């Protein structure tokens, strides 16, 4: 059974490493030339909780030839459609395509390239970083929750849960994964763009009264739009979850801070706060905080001339 990781940055390397380390047939696909070259020449280096180096195949998506049994999508949201176009030749009748990206609405893009019966959607709270090309920083523990979009795909999705568990990735089949996807989007929506804009850690943002109130207002907008979209969310429970996550991540600069401030790369804001800013007005819900946050991030991208 061949598994491709389509988008092998930080978290893609974590999943690729775990699968390869447990003897699974896994191939990394990526488009970052120096990263590909580093892994091809020196292997994938792991630092953090363990220090390791593993030989693992990595190539450009267009170079891969074997039809996939499973493709795990791990691009940034704005790279997803391009990646799907580059891997259509790997997608056969029975190929399962699993999306664990942060953000909302990725299934709408995937449906253009993959039949509904083969799409698996989910969320992971594993984390990872990159120390540089070819080196992943893996710390802490996490989990994966997945669901087949179509009832006919449930058995196969449960086999994928088993594959992930054999690789130490702590996966569960979830009969209704969307509330968990939205819960994580609330955490990202409250802290990611805001910390990037204010150039601060999660703890610094939540530690100020104004920051805390902004996080609360953003979370309220996410929950209202989620509820109106048919997602079962409990605002008090979600707010408590967002606060708890802010305490656990108090010393961290979220990934959008790293993308925007540190690396001057485009952000995923259109797939997090931007979704709420777009959907809210369509549903008759006011979403001024998410609109402003999205506009400010794009303004900062423009100031930094990020494309
Ligand atoms: P990433 O930025 O590390 O990698 C995404 C893609 O960008 C990869 O193809 C990678 O090779 C490329 N890339 C990375 N740095 C680059 C650079 N400097 N120049 C050129 N290309 C570069 O993203 P990620 O953290 O692996 O996240 C992928 C998806 O998974 C996102 O939707 C993210 O929100 C989500 N996610 C991430 C984590 C995490 O802890 N990293 C956890 C859960 C979900």
Longest CA span, the chain = 54
Say how far apart CA 235 and CA 223 lie, in whole Å: 6
Question: Of all protein residues, whose CA lies closest to atom 20 belonging to ligand 1?
Answer: 32
Q: Pick the atom of ligand 1 nearest to 79's CA.
A: 6
Q: Do domains 2-173 and 178-303 have the same CATH topology?
A: no
**pLDDT recorded at residue 307:** 73
70 lines ligand 1 (CB under 6 A): no
The domain spans of the chain are: 2-173, 178-303
Say how far apart CA 182 and CA 176 lie, in whole Å: 11
**pLDDT recorded at residue 18:** 98
Tokens of 91: 């997608």
Q: Which of 76, 96, 184, 279 is catalytic?
A: 184
2-173: CATH number: 3.40.50.720
**pLDDT recorded at residue 97:** 98
| Three-class SS state of 148 | strand
**pLDDT recorded at residue 150:** 98
Q: Which of 143, 155, 147, 67 minimizes the C-alpha distance to 107?
A: 147
263 lines ligand 1 (CB under 6 A): yes
C-alpha neighbours within 13 Å on the C-beta side of residue 40:
11
CATH number 3.10.20.30 given to 178-303: no
138 lines ligand 1 (CB under 6 A): no
pTM here is 0.97
Pocket test of ligand 1: the residue of 4, 11, 13 to mutate, having most ligand atoms within 8 Å of its CB, is 11
Q: Are 245 and 219 in contact (CB under 8 A)?
A: no
20-67 pLDDT, tens digit per residue, is 999 999 999 999 999 999 999 999 999 999 999 999 999 999 999 999
Determine which helix (DSSP H) or strand (DSSP E) holds 22, and give its type and residue range: none
**pLDDT recorded at residue 306:** 83
The stretches in the chain having pLDDT less than 50 are none
Q: Give the number of other CB atoms < 10 A from CB of residue 191.
A: 27
Does the annotation count 184 as an active-site position?
Answer: yes
Q: In what order do the strands lie in the sheet with 144-148?
A: 58-59, 25-29, 2-6, 70-73, 96-99, 119-124, 144-148, 171-173
| Three-class SS state of 29 | strand
Tokens of 78: 């704005």
Q: Give the number of other CB atoms < 10 A from CB of residue 23.
A: 9
**pLDDT recorded at residue 250:** 97
3 lines ligand 1 (CB under 6 A): no
């Amino acid at each position: 059974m061949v598994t491709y990781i389509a988008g092998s940055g930080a978290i893609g390397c974590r999943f690729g490493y775990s699968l390869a380390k447990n003897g699974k047939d896994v191939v990394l696909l990526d488009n970052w030339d120096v990263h590909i070259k580093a892994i091809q020449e020196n292997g994938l280096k792991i630092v953090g909780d363990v220090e390791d180096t593993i030989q693992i195949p990595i190539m450009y998506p267009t170079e891969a030839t074997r039809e996939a049994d499973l493709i795990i999508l791990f691009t940034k949201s704005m790279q997803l459609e391009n990646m799907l176009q580059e891997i259509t030749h790997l997608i056969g009748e029975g190929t399962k395509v699993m999306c664990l990206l942060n953000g909302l609405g990725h299934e709408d893009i995937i449906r253009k390239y993959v039949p509904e019966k083969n799409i698996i959607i989910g969320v992971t709270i594993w984390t990872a970083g990159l120390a540089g090309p070819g080196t992943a920083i893996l710390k802490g523990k996490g989990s994966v929750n997945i669901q087949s979009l179509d009832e006919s795909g449930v058995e196969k999705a449960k086999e994928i849960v088993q594959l992930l568990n054999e690789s130490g990735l702590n996966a569960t089949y979830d009969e209704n994964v969307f509330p968990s996807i939205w819960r994580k989007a609330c955490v990202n929506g409250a802290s990611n763009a805001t910390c990037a804009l204010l150039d601060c850690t999660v703890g610094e943002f939540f530690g100020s009264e104004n920051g805390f109130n902004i996080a609360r207002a953003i979370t309220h907008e996410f929950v209202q739009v989620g509820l109106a979209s048919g997602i079962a969310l409990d605002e008090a429970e979600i707010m408590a979850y967002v606060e708890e996550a802010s305490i656990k991540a108090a010393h961290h600069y979220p990934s959008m801070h790293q993308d925007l401030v540190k690396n001057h790369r485009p952000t995923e804001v259109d797939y997090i706060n931007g979704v709420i800013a777009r959907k809210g007005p369509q549903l008759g819900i006011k979403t001024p905080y998410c609109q402003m946050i999205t506009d400010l991030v794009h303004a900062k991208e423009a100031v930094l001339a990020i494309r």
